[in-house]
Amino acid sequence: MGVIEVDLFGQEVDSPDHPEAVGFRKLLEAVADEYGCALLSYEVDQGTVAFSFDNDELTAEILKVLEDKI
């Protein structure tokens, strides 16, 4: 399983407890529930979010969406 790292928030969002980061974590947990898997890790550092799931299919789908956005 790989870790996905995305520059998602402004640098002021520097903790997983920040309200914006909490909202995104809830979204990730809901997606994990839909796929019948778990969110294994979730970190936020200066606006950059790093997270991983215990499902390679979900991870691959997220990476594909991110690549399409670039």
Quote the CA–CA distance of 51 and 2 in Å, as a whole number. 9
**What is the reported pLDDT for 70?**
67
Report the pLDDT averaged over residues 28-34. Answer: 96
For residue 48, pLDDT beyond 70: yes
Q: How many residues does the chain have?
A: 70
pLDDT higher at 69 or 15: 15
**What is the reported pLDDT for 69?**
78
Outline where DSSP puts E strands in the chain. Answer: 4-7, 39-45, 48-53
Quote the CA–CA distance of 69 and 55 in Å, as a whole number. 22
